[in-house]
């Protein structure tokens, strides 16, 4: 198996991780919510800190900090027939790139990887742009990965925000 000499991670692992991140972006853009929840471990979390230097989401203000239950609640809300603000139609498109494996536990295949994303959102005849960094803590399960923690550092973290974010970035 060829090795990435500088980082010492196999090309196969790199490819698997990239495919996983692309798949996640596609699930989000396709609003495939059932598959979205399955991306996460049972105790998995989606976290967008309110400050770049934040080390934890616990006990501090966050922009997003959701376990499966809160994610499930958010899905039920946006799909509810009376979610008025979703009526105008809502579409996103993600590009994920610059995927780097930061560390890997060779024993169980769990790893931490970082990547960059650009995302456009279309709603009410207007387009918005977001960009930032993902840091995924992935667990190797059943020949694939599941997300233990996804940290999302958006470039415009300090705001101000024009309108709000109804679903995950």
Residues that bind other proteins (CB under 8 A): 48, 50-51, 59-65, 69-70, 72-74, 76-78, 80-85, 88, 124, 158-166
C-beta of 7 vs 124, nearer to other proteins:
124
The answer to whether residues 134 and 154 touch, using CB atoms and an 8 Å cutoff, is no
CA angle at residue 102 from 32 to 67, to 5 degrees?
Answer: 40
C-beta of 20 vs 134, nearer to other proteins:
134
Report, in Å, the least distance between residue 151 CB and other proteins.
15
C-beta of 5 vs 84, nearer to other proteins:
84
C-beta of 68 vs 140, nearer to other proteins:
68
Report, in Å, the least distance between residue 165 CB and other proteins.
5
C-beta of 1 vs 164, nearer to other proteins:
164
Report, in Å, the least distance between residue 80 CB and other proteins.
3
Report, in Å, the least distance between residue 16 CB and other proteins.
30
By C-alpha distance, which of 168, 131, 127, 154 is closest to 29? 168
Please state, in angstroms and rounded to a whole number, the distance separating the CA atoms of residues 51 and 123.
27
DSSP readout, 45-83?
Answer: EEEEESSTT----TTS-EEEEE-HHHHHHHHHHHTSTT-
The answer to whether residues 28 and 152 touch, using CB atoms and an 8 Å cutoff, is no
Residue 112 has a CB neighbour count (10 Å cut-off) of: 17
Report, in Å, the least distance between residue 98 CB and other proteins.
24
């Amino acid at each position: 198996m060829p090795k990435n000499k500088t980082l010492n991670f196999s090309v196969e692992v790199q490819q698997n991780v990239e495919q996983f991140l692309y798949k996640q972006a596609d699930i989000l853009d396709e609003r495939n919510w059932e598959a979205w929840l399955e991306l996460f471990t049972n105790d998995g979390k989606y976290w967008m800190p309110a400050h770049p230097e934040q080390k934890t989401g616990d006990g501090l203000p966050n922009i997003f900090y959701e376990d499966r239950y809160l994610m499930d609640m958010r899905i039920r809300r946006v799909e509810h027939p009376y979610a008025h603000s979703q009526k105008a139609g809502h579409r996103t498109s993600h590009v994920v790139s610059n995927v780097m494996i930061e560390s890997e536990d060779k024993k169980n295949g769990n790893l931490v990887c970082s990547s960059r994303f650009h995302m456009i959102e279309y709603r009410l005849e207007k387009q918005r742009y977001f960009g930032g960094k993902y840091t995924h803590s992935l667990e190797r399960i059943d020949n694939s990965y599941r997300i233990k923690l996804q940290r999302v550092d958006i470039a415009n973290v300090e705001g101000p925000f024009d309108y709000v974010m109804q679903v995950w970035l």
